[in-house]
Amino acid sequence: MSSDLYREQLLDHYHNPENFGVLPDADVDVEMDNPTCGDVVHMTARLDAEGRITAVMFEGQGCVVSMASASMFTEMAVGKTPEEVAAMGLADIEAMMGGVRLSMGRVKCATLPLNALKLGLKEAGKL
Amino acid sequence: MALDVEAIRREFPIFERKIHGKRLVFLDSAASSQKPRAVIAAMTRVYTHSYANVHRGLYALAEEATEAYEGARVKLARFINAPDPAEVIYVRNATEGLNLVAYSWGIEHIHAGDRIVITEMEHHANLVPWQQLALRQGAELAYVPVTNDGRLDLAALPPLLADGRTKLVACSVMSNVLGTLPPVTQVAELAHAAGALVVMDAAQAAPHQPVDVQALGPDFLAISGHKLCGPGMGILWGRGELLDAMPPFLYGGDMIRTVKRYQSKWNDLPHKFEAGTPPIAEAVGLGAAVDFLGAIGMEAIHAHEQELLAYALPRLAEVPGIHILGPGLGERGGVVSFWLEAAHPHDIAALLDEDGICIRAGHHCAQPLHERFGIPASARASFYLYNDKEDVDALVAGLHRVVKILGR
């Protein structure tokens, strides 16, 4: 009845997001928005002594694509180094979201959480 | 219905195609309209039969092209009831027309301490040029507010005109988000009485209702052709004596009378403002567009859209968790922006697309207006002469489906 984008898996993350909230004592604290669509995401993350990401949380508002991507990304980013996050791109996000092919108009929504974390890592001096 | 939509749709080849296997329900004409055969044929004819550069050649083909290009200007002048076709300047779009006024008239006439008044419902095209002009010249920018029901708060204008510092009032003839038809004639009367000039953005109004520059009373008025069944170009109309006194906006070929090594003299109107080779086939296409619309009648198109609006508003109001922006019937045109408690505008548009329904989602180039209503974005359905009640039914059914999928 519905396309790839609105299938159960993504809607579950949209309605019941993982790691929703603000991480206390975070090493990374960043907010990013897509002004043209009104999506906004606030990401917080903690890194261990070796510099690996140990926890990520997000809060924000936006469409199914941006919010589901943020929810899934908070799980995917754990265990990665900042360099590994920096090397990630659209293809990784599409794979993370179950192999969807995002239309041009939705790429910015889906990559917002990734881009936010990249910016946050840079601002925190981890990249 | 006031119009024979079946017959009108047959004039638009795009309605022959399917979207995701479904009938095309095009409800985004406020962004850009579809094109009738008459316009496509007129432009094809220029390229296949009468194309050459205008105002230059001394051969038959060039004269034919010039005649068609200038003939379109006469049609456009008639379309807006301009007293003189020379006051109709071809531009890229309404945005460029408004920028032309801001740069050419604005920089000479707006000084530090002056005030520019615009409204909260402006499209960025009639907002950012004035905002930047004010910043550049050290002038003040003031906004006439919009009421909660999306009407222009006209009572707020006279106080902004009282001290004589206001030199320019810029106002949309129809809001591209709220659909509001503000009392622009009254705005013009008040502004003129206070010695200010009036710029009207008719990009949204001109495709849907008669626009008569002599009745509305602006000093400048901008129109986008692509929203009124034409190609991607626009026109700026201005009072002849103002245009005459203004410096050129762009310099180059065709806009000059003589060029010496260290100085130049300008061509007459309208050519002074049309530097370089213009959009020749586009102008002819735009002329064909106003012929096409004129044959149907702008009054009839307006009545048709009012009828659709009267049918749509109560049905849309039944969608759970919907909030419709803008005033009620009688004070608005065929643009309906809304938001749903259950769904982000992007998701609304993406899910409707699966049903072959095209709507706009975002801030529709009116960020300050969305901010005023406390929302980051909205969804917008807009009607035109090729839409009917079936399209409204499809939209309403689609929105019920969106709520079912995304509601919890």
Q: Where are the domains of chain A?
A: 4-123
Residues B265, B312: one domain?
A: no
CB-nearest to B363 from A14, A36, A64 is A36
Domain stop point among B260, B294, B328: B294
Q: Does B33 fall in a domain? A: no
Residues B113, B223: one domain?
A: yes
Residues B90, B239: one domain?
A: yes
**Which residues have C-beta within 8 Å of that of residue B178, sequence separation ≥ 6?**
B121, B146, B150, B325, B326, B327, B332, B335, B337, B369
| Chain A contact set for B376 (CB, 8 A) | 37-38, 40, 61
Enclosing domain of residue B111 = 41-294
CATH 3.90.76.10 fits A4-123, yes or no: no
Q: Does B34 fall in a domain? A: no
Mean pLDDT by 10 residues, chain B (408 residues): 91 97 98 98 97 90 95 98 98 98 98 98 97 98 97 98 98 97 98 98 98 98 98 98 97 93 95 96 98 97 97 98 96 96 94 96 91 93 98 98 92
- Whether residue A3 has pLDDT greater than 70: no
| B344/chain A closest Cα distance in angstroms | 5
Q: Mutate which of A5, A33, A64 to test chain B, going by most B C-beta atoms within 10 A?
A: A64
Domain stop point among B264, B294, B324: B294
Residues B268, B388: one domain?
A: no
- Alpha carbon separation from A47 to A19, A31, B176 (Å, rounded): 16, 18, 47
Report the pLDDT value the prediction gives residue B408, as an integer from 0 to 100.
79
Residues B290, B315: one domain?
A: no
Q: Does B366 fall in a domain? A: yes
Report the pLDDT value the prediction gives residue A16, as an integer from 0 to 100.
95
Residues B358, B267: one domain?
A: no
- Whether residue A1 has pLDDT greater than 50: no
Residues B13, B54: one domain?
A: no
> Is the preceding omega at residue A82 within 30 degrees of 0, hence cis?
no
Report the pLDDT value the prediction gives residue A35, as an integer from 0 to 100.
80
Contact A62 B350 (CB under 8 A): no
Residues B171, B116, B119, B226, CA torsion sign: positive
Query: Would you call B265 exposed, middle or buried from its count of C-beta atoms within 10 A (0-12, 13-18, 19+)?
Result: exposed
Question: What totals of helices (H) and strands (E) does chain B contain, helices first?
Answer: 15, 17
Type of residue numbered B389: K
CB-nearest to A6 from B361, B363, B405 is B405
Unique residue bearing structure tokens 């003839």: B173
What burial letters (b/e) apply to B152-162, b meaning 16+ CB within 10 Å? Answer: beeebbeebbe
Domain stop point among B269, B294, B319: B294
Interval B132-150: pLDDT, tens: 999 999 999 999 999 999 9
| Chain B contact set for A15 (CB, 8 A) | 408
Q: Does B212 fall in a domain? A: yes
Residues B317, B277: one domain?
A: no
Given the cut 0.85, state whether the ipTM is greater than it: yes
B330, B333, B328, B366: which is closest to B149 by C-alpha? B328
Q: Does B70 fall in a domain? A: yes
Question: CA-nearest residue of chain A to B366?
Answer: A36
| Chain B contact set for A11 (CB, 8 A) | 405-406
Q: Does B77 fall in a domain? A: yes
| Chain A contact set for B406 (CB, 8 A) | 6, 11, 14, 64
Q: What does the block give as tokens for B322?
A: 């919907």
State the count of interchain CB pairs (< 8 A) between A and B.
56
CB-nearest to A63 from B346, B375, B405 is B346
Q: Does B36 fall in a domain? A: no
Instruction: Answer yes or no: B365 catalytic.
Output: yes
Query: Sorting pLDDT into bands at 50, 70 and 90, what band is A44?
Result: very high
- Whether residue A2 has pLDDT greater than 60: no
Contact A37 B408 (CB under 8 A): no
Contact A106 B361 (CB under 8 A): no
Interval B79-131: pLDDT, tens: 999 999 999 999 999 999 999 999 999 999 999 999 999 999 999 999 999 99
Contact B351 A6 (CB under 8 A): yes
Q: Mutate which of B20, B22, B177, B344 to test chain A, going by most A C-beta atoms within 10 A?
A: B344
The DSSP code for B105 is I
CATH number, domain at B15?
3.90.1150.10
Interval A10-34: pLDDT, tens: 999 999 999 999 999 999 999 999 8
CATH number, domain at B249?
3.40.640.10
What burial letters (b/e) apply to A38-75, b meaning 16+ CB within 10 Å? Answer: bbbbbbbbbbeeeeebebbbbbbebbbbbbbbbbbbbe
Contact B406 A11 (CB under 8 A): yes
| Chain B contact set for A102 (CB, 8 A) | none
* Total domains in the fold of chain B: 2
Q: Does B32 fall in a domain? A: no
